[in-house]
Structure 1
Amino acid sequence: MDSSINIILPRFRSLNHLLLLAILSSIYRFTSSSHGGDSPQELRIGFRVVPDPSVSSFQPIITDSTGNYSFGFLRTNGNQLALSVIHAPSSVPVWSENTNPLARWADPTELFFNGSLVLSDSRTGVFWSTATLGDRVWLSTTSNLQIQKLDGGATALWQSFDFPSDTLVENQNFTTSMNLVSSNGLYSMRLGQDFFGLYANFMGSSPGQMYLKHGALEAKADIVDGHPIYLVLKSGGYLGMFQNGSIPVDVESFNSFQQNTSGNLRVRIEPDGNLKGYYWTGSNWVLDYRAISDPCELPSSCGSYGLCTPGKECSCLDNRTADGSGKCASPETPVSGDFCGAYDNRYKVLRRSGVELPFKEYMGYQKMDSLNQCESACEQNCTCWGAVYSNYSGFCYMLAFPIQTLLAVGDDTKMGYFKVREGAGKKGVNEWLGLGLGLLFGAIVIFAGVLGLGWYRRRKRGVKGYLEEDGNVGIGPYKDLGAASFRSIELCEK
Structure 2
Amino acid sequence: MPTSFTSFLNHLLISFFLFFLTSSNSSDTLTGTQILTTNQTLLSQNQTFVLGFFGGSNTNYYLGIWYNNINPQTIVWVANRDNPIDNSTGYLKIGDNGNFVLLNSSGNPAWSSNQTNAKNPVIQLLETGNLVLKDSEQSINYLWQSFDYPTDTLLPGMQMGWNFDTGIEKHLTSWKVTGEDPSSGDYTFKLDYRGLPEIFLRRNQTIIYRSGSWNGERFNGVPEMDTDTDSIVFSFSDDAHGVFYYFSIGNASLLSRLTVTSDSDGELQRRTWIASSETWNKFWYAPADQCDHYRECGPYGLCDNNASPVCRCMKGFSPKNPQAWNLRDGSGGCVRNTDLDCPTDKFLHLESMKLPETTTVFVNKSMTLTECESLCHRNCSCTAYANIDITNGGSGCVMWLGQLFDLRNYPSGGGQDLYVRLSAADIGSAGSKHRKAEAIGISLSVVAIVLGLVAICYLRKKKQHRGSIHRSHDLLMNEGVPSRGHSGDRNMDDLELPMFDFDTLTMATNNFSQDNKLGQGGFGSVYRGSLIESQEIAVKRLSKDSGQGIEEFKNEVKLIVKLQHRNLVRLLGCCIEKDEKMLVYEYMENRSLDSILFDKVKRSLLDWKSRFNIICGIARGLLYLHQDSRFRIIHRDLKASNILLDSEMNPKISDFGMARIFGSNQTEANTIRVVGTYGYMSPEYAMDGNFSVKSDVFSFGVLVLEIITGKKNRGFYYANDELNLLGNVWRQWNEGTALELVDQSIGNSYAESEVLRCIHVGLLCVQERAEDRPTMSSVVLMLSSEAALMPRPKNPGFSLRKNHPETDSSSSNQDKTWSVNQVTVTMLNAR
TM-score for both structures, normalised by structure 1: 0.49
Structure having the higher helix fraction is 2
Larger Rg: 1
TM-score for both structures, normalised by structure 2: 0.31
Query: Which of 1 and 2 has higher RCO (CA within 8 Å, sep 6+)?
Result: 1
